A and B are shown apart, each in its own frame.
Chain A
């Protein structure tokens, strides 16, 4: 191992600082003009980022948030809505407070990004100049990753993995089921938004059917993965609360998904064919269109970032946060996006106003409800390391915990939801 003296360390640090100083970073065009930040996407990543820059820069940066929806329904806690524990309105939020805080919110879609001119082109043709751009479009569904599936098929076999009308459609179909009806879920391959989400959703399906007193309900999960998040805890919970109702199949058990057919509500695997009253297809995913069309994604379909800043490794004037980014060991979750946005917001202020910056640090916790008052979590803390965002600590709920602890977990998750939506939407 090479021994580093203090002198050689200083030299290395000097070289590194020199490299940063000569990077082609855009500066505000006019010395007098306020630097401009444009944020694309008003979800957990984009909303948090816009608000934190607006709040901490105290007017020194002009912040514009581009989000077509005037009301944003959160994907997190949408399973809790499916399970009947919350109303749709309670997971839907507006931007009035974000606007009152001084962020310029434009309810229009971002059509394209002209990275050479540092401009965002809106769907109506208007161009927004930026000194820094943050891209937080979330995921797009890869409809063609499931043979037979399409945007049209999703009207019959909802994915409900982007919140809104799809979530309501899935819930309506669930609530219309009769005893003896079968549900089939096609689970997604990695990486995807909310790793425990499909299994919490299965739990919520089972909860609704059990609460109706159904004795002959059956839920089959066709999974392309050999294992999934919090698997042991979910399976223990399913056995405890819904014995015999849920059948999870890994690839060895189903032999591979062959196709789905929306006309007949049929799912074919290598080994069987299922005709179901409700089919929930959750396909593979990729970064939202605007990130891919702008050349910010790599061959994986997601966007590489610098782990110390959430800055795109493709364009030094662009940051990518949330589900669209390749965030190393961090799962794609609202909590992760919110955490990443704070690191990006700090870095952007450092670059545009010379504000002090500190080493990046990230955190995440994902709670999942299995049955009323039986809630489990998995979480971690993260820092830059080994060329990625690396997990440094982890926690997970334990087997057979006392019921009161699981009940407190759920109460904590509800409090977390209350807190994070204020962090995002004001």
Chain B
């Protein structure tokens, strides 16, 4: 088909585009709504994760404190800074991404891939190592800080050997499920961005 045909069809769509135009107030309202972009979805997910985790752990700490179960109360308080650390990853990621979409397309996609790769590396390090280690250390500190409390002693006596086997098992489970979760949540988006960049850079 001739190029002229394509261009004339393309131009003829202007009428349809005109009919789609909303009033400026509608457009401004739309512009203030929440974003559905992949990267913004990742940012929102990371933000919500940090908040929910901190709230849950904070609530558990209070609950255990009120029940006088010091071992877990101390553990929960210990783990909160770990979640705050994860929020810092998220915040830095947002700051770096802020003006990326105004660059040339290849530069922009390249920056998205690089920033997302760095972010994922930090998230993986945090989830695979810091978090399980944080749980184990928190439990240990909790148990050692108040061994005289009756409830704490009972827990230690009851779980005893189970703790030695259970803690590595819990750490493994945290690692395993986090790995699956990260792959499900970010993997396909990251893969799509990488593929796009490869397509753009081909033949350069």
A and B found bound together: no
